[in-house]
Chains A and B, each alone.
Chain A
Amino acid sequence: MLLEYLAIALLLVVSTLVGLIAIGLGELFGPKIKSKVKDEPYESGMPVIGAGTRRMPVRFYLIAVLFILFDIEVVFFLPWAVAFRQLGLFGMFEMVVFIVILLVGYAYAWKKGALEWE
């Protein structure tokens, strides 16, 4: 079984090498002319004001949390789908219960405007 994963590991190594070679070619053949303006962050030619990385809105956090929860749900869904024909009606029932509990949270999120991007 590990053989299949070794093949994937080989692909990973080879494709990383290809990427490194590509960057290397650019570094090798590209001109290197230093200047002060090139060192500055690009903001459409306007003078740069303030730090580059600043605090970000909290809604990104909300989206990420909701994503984790639903991602876990999807991961549970996958083996369920594989075994669904064996589980039958019972499997259907247990997944409905699982989802209904989660949907309560989803409805709460909707109601509270957490799915809104204002």
Chain B
Amino acid sequence: MDWALLLEWFLKSLVLIFGLLGGFAYTTYYERRWIARLQVRVGPNRVGPLGLLQPIADAAKLIFKEELTPAKVYKTVFFLSPLLTMVPSLVIAAVIPLGTSFTLGGRTIHMYLANINVGALYLMSVASIAVYGIVLAGWSSNNKYAMLGGLRSTAQMISYELTLGLMFVAAILLGNSMSMVDIVEGQRDMWFGAIQPVGFVLFFIATLAEVNRSPFDMPEAEQELTAGYHTEYSGMKFALFFMAEYQKMIVVSMIGATLFLGGYRELWFLKDTFLSVDRAWFLGPFYLVAKVFLLLGLMIWIRAAWPRIRYDRLMSLGWKVLVPLSLAVIFLTAAGILIESSWFILISSLLAAAVAVAFIQRALRRKAYEFA
């Protein structure tokens, strides 16, 4: 057994886990501060300078909360489902490269935990496992609202998982590999998001639904479902669901950045300057974090700007618009690769997207007449 290797993995795991936990804590802060700005408020600013210690105070508070377990719950599953939701949100990050590599004491340290050839499929499989935590939390709570919230949430997640998976395919087509490292390196000359912006937008919409963010935050539609699948949870178990939600936000942003925005790489036209990660390895994580920060900001902004979409429309959007459009995007990308023209991919996908938008417009207008 190679102990040095084991130590390396262990340290990398700790970096990933505590990076995501810290990221979770400060994403909540980021969200509260920015939402406050968008609503012309100040937001938390009392605990520590600029309110920066607020997340720590929140965590401490949650530790001292009572763990309620109602009498009629299925105890084992009730206990396991928060874990089953939280753990995948950490484990999924294993294949995402955070940077290139550096040498430390004669060892080359790569800034990823694992580089596997089926990386994209790994992401899909972990994402599909994450569904269980939610549906089981709903079921084991033995509560109507929790159950309905869990089922709704699951149905929504699996519907949008298709679009997510199909957009992986688009990135793989362009990158010619399923390994996340290869996909990032394939964007040295041009980000895939610049060749296939429609793919990136579709991916982003699907991730919003996948992590139950507004405008797709159905499971938490308070007016209809109390608090959805985690109605019966309190204390640290609730905190795990909360953690999972924010960690998933961060992780999907990382995946989106990796697939379409060049991951840890610099802007493509800077590749020969001193800002390139080829020259300065330590810039890699900064670039990735900056992209994640922007994507998270976009998610929060959307939450502040848009009302929640109705559930039937949510499902219609997923099945009737996003799935066909994703298929079209994939075949257009493939055709563009065949004729070796990036411009074809860009223009034809934009046209396809325009057709889809026109279709939505028409459907909405017809619905409006129906009810008038």
Using a CB–CB cutoff of 8 Å, the interface residues on chain A facing chain B are 3-8, 10-12, 14-16, 18-20, 22-23, 25-27, 29-33, 38-44, 50-54, 56, 60, 63-64, 66-67, 70-71, 74-75, 77-78, 80-82, 84-85, 88-89, 92, 95-96, 99, 106, 110, 115-118
For residue A38, which residue of chain B has the nearest CB? B68
Contact indicator A7/B114 (Cβ below 8 Å): yes
Contact indicator A40/B338 (Cβ below 8 Å): no
Q: Which B residues lie within 8 Å of A7 (CB)?
A: 9, 12-13, 94, 113-114
Given the interface pairs A29-B63, A42-B226, the reply to whether A5 lies near B114 with Cβ below 8 Å is yes
Given the interface pairs A7-B113, A74-B162, the reply to whether A66 lies near B319 with Cβ below 8 Å is yes
Contact indicator A19/B83 (Cβ below 8 Å): yes
Q: Which A residues lie within 8 Å of B86 (CB)?
A: 15, 19
For residue B142, which residue of chain A has the nearest CB? A52
Once bound together, how far apart are the Cα atoms of A78 and B176, in whole Å?
A: 10
- Neighbour of A92 across the interface among B91, B115, B338, CB < 8 A: B338
Contact indicator B316/A116 (Cβ below 8 Å): yes
Size range of the interface on B?
35 or more
**Which residues 159-188 of B sit at the A interface, judged by CB distance below 8 A?**
159, 161-162, 165-166, 168-169, 172-173, 176-178
Q: Is B356 an interface residue (CB 8 A)?
A: no
Using a CB–CB cutoff of 8 Å, the interface residues on chain B facing chain A are 5-6, 9-10, 12-14, 16-17, 21, 62-68, 70-72, 79, 82-83, 86-87, 90-91, 94-95, 113-116, 118, 120-121, 124, 128, 139, 141-148, 151, 154-155, 158-159, 161-162, 165-166, 168-169, 172-173, 176-178, 226, 231-232, 235-237, 239-240, 243, 311-312, 315-316, 319-320, 323-324, 327, 330-331, 334-335, 337-338
Contact indicator B158/A12 (Cβ below 8 Å): no
For residue A79, which residue of chain B has the nearest CB? B178
Once bound together, how far apart are the Cα atoms of A112 and B43, in whole Å?
A: 49
- Listed from nearest, the 3 A-B pairs whose CB atoms lie closest are A26-B236, A52-B142, A39-B71
Once bound together, how far apart are the Cα atoms of A30 and B61, in whole Å?
A: 10
Q: Which B residues lie within 8 Å of A14 (CB)?
A: 10, 13-14, 17
- Neighbour of A43 across the interface among B145, B151, B166, CB < 8 A: B145
Contact indicator B337/A15 (Cβ below 8 Å): no
Contact indicator B166/A19 (Cβ below 8 Å): no
Q: Which B residues lie within 8 Å of A11 (CB)?
A: 9, 13, 16-17, 90-91, 94, 113
The smallest C-beta distance from A99 to any residue of chain B, in angstroms, reads 6
For residue B172, which residue of chain A has the nearest CB? A81
Contact indicator A56/B64 (Cβ below 8 Å): no
For residue B166, which residue of chain A has the nearest CB? A74
For residue A91, which residue of chain B has the nearest CB? B334
Q: Which B residues lie within 8 Å of A22 (CB)?
A: 236, 239-240, 243
Q: Which A residues lie within 8 Å of B5 (CB)?
A: 3
The smallest C-beta distance from A110 to any residue of chain B, in angstroms, reads 7
Once bound together, how far apart are the Cα atoms of A26 and B71, in whole Å?
A: 19
Contact indicator A115/B315 (Cβ below 8 Å): yes
Most chain B CB atoms below 10 A, which of A27, A67, A118: A67
Once bound together, how far apart are the Cα atoms of A71 and B144, in whole Å?
A: 29
Contact indicator B115/A4 (Cβ below 8 Å): yes
Contact indicator A44/B147 (Cβ below 8 Å): no
Given the interface pairs A12-B91, A39-B70, the reply to whether A25 lies near B161 with Cβ below 8 Å is no
Contact indicator A10/B9 (Cβ below 8 Å): yes
What 14 additional pairs, Cβ within 8 angstroms, besides A19-B86, A22-B236? A11-B91, A23-B67, A26-B65, A26-B67, A26-B237, A30-B66, A32-B67, A38-B68, A40-B71, A42-B145, A63-B159, A74-B162, A89-B338, A99-B331
